[in-house]
Structure 1
Amino acid sequence: MPKPLDRMDRKILKALLGNARLSNSQLAEQVGLSSSPCWQRVRRLEQDGYITGYYAALDQRLLGAKETVIIEVTLDRHDDDILESFGEAMARLPEVLEVYLTTGEYDYLMKVAVDGTEEYERFLRERLYKVRGIRHTRSSFALRCLKQAHSIAPIDE
């Protein structure tokens, strides 16, 4: 069982959420610790699963995928075989950024990055609609992103 977060752990997580490239000495200075205890806390937060990884946030527009499309997907069946094969297929599609199994009218909510409507049509015809088990989809193009976060910030107590 992970150790509960204290105030210093929260400060460390917030600092890393703001800039995961901080060196240990920069992080220690920012949160008010010396380097060794800061390093030990970060390692514990990683081992306990609070920190699951570090990554670079890339600008998809500069990479040639200027449109974000939200796709709702309904499957024709819900047996284990179809669910597993759908998940594996989505993991192989580079345009697919996120996929959530949901409750409600649709089974999945997907976030997809494409370079305009022609590429989106090609994605549908040549990739998504070839995945077995899909009964119905509904798509919406995002006009503008108002907020983007990759995790919640720890709540101060």
Structure 2
Amino acid sequence: MNLPNLDRRDRSILNFLQENGRLTNAELAEKVSLSPSACLRRVKLLEESGLIAGYHMQLDMKACGLSGAAFVFVTLDGQGRETLARFERAIKHINEIQDCYLLAGQYDYLLRIVYRNAEDLERIHHDILTNLPGVVRVNSTLTLRAVKHTSKLEM
């Protein structure tokens, strides 16, 4: 199912599920004016098409004891495929690194990290980030508060 082939109901299903992935099929069917069986068929097709990549819940950072987030620009010692691959393999299982983006421009990567306090941030910077393969420079920017945080795409 290609994006241009989505009808109004498919788009509504995607929008409602992005707002609340815990909707029951019956609740979703009522919201989009479909029978539960027709709604379930459409959801299954949307999942099979790859448009629905998964269902996730989100924890509250502060409730988890994480008081801060930082964006970290990383510069590597080279741009070769193996250099990039070594770095990417190394960061995959570091829980403090929440997001990682390969960049075009002045820096090689942008990371979003989370930390408990100033000492934890120093530990992450000194013991983890600067010891990643190929890293020659890290430049961190601390967030004061999140003004907007979403993963919703308007359909």
Identify whether the pair has TM-score above 0.5, normalized to the shorter chain.
yes
* Alpha-carbon contact 1:17-1:153 (below 8 Å) kept: no
What is the number of equivalent residue pairs in this alignment?
A: 154
Is contact 1:95–1:114 with CA below 8 Å preserved after alignment? yes
Matched residue of 1:83: which SS?
helix
Q: C-alpha distance in 2, partners of 1:126/1:151?
A: 34
Partner of 2:88: 87
| SS in structure 1 at match of 2:147 | coil
* Separation in 2, partners of 1:150, 1:98: 13
| 1:50-103 superposed Cα distances (whole Å, 9 cap, x missing partner) | 100001111011111110000011111111111111111111100011001111
The amino acid that maps onto 1:8 is R
2:124: which partner in 1? Answer: 123
Q: CA RMSD in A?
A: 1.1
Q: Once the 2 structures are TM-superposed, how far is the Cα of residue 152 of structure 1 from its aligned partner?
A: 1.4
**Residue in 1 aligned with 2:2?**
2
How far does residue 151 in structure 1 lie from its aligned partner after superposition?
A: 3.2
> Which residue of structure 1 aligns with residue 142 of structure 2?
141
The alignment partner of 1:72 has SS state of strand
- Alignment gaps of 5+ in structure 2: none
Match of 1:110 in 2: 111
Is this contact kept in 1: 2:61–2:67, CA < 8 A? yes
Conserved? CA contact 1:96–1:111, under 8 Å? yes
Residue ranges of structure 1 left out of the alignment (5+ in a row): none
Query: Any conservation in 1 of the 2:19–2:152 contact (CA below 8 Å)?
Result: no
Structure 2 Cα separation of the partners of residues 108 and 83 of structure 1: 10
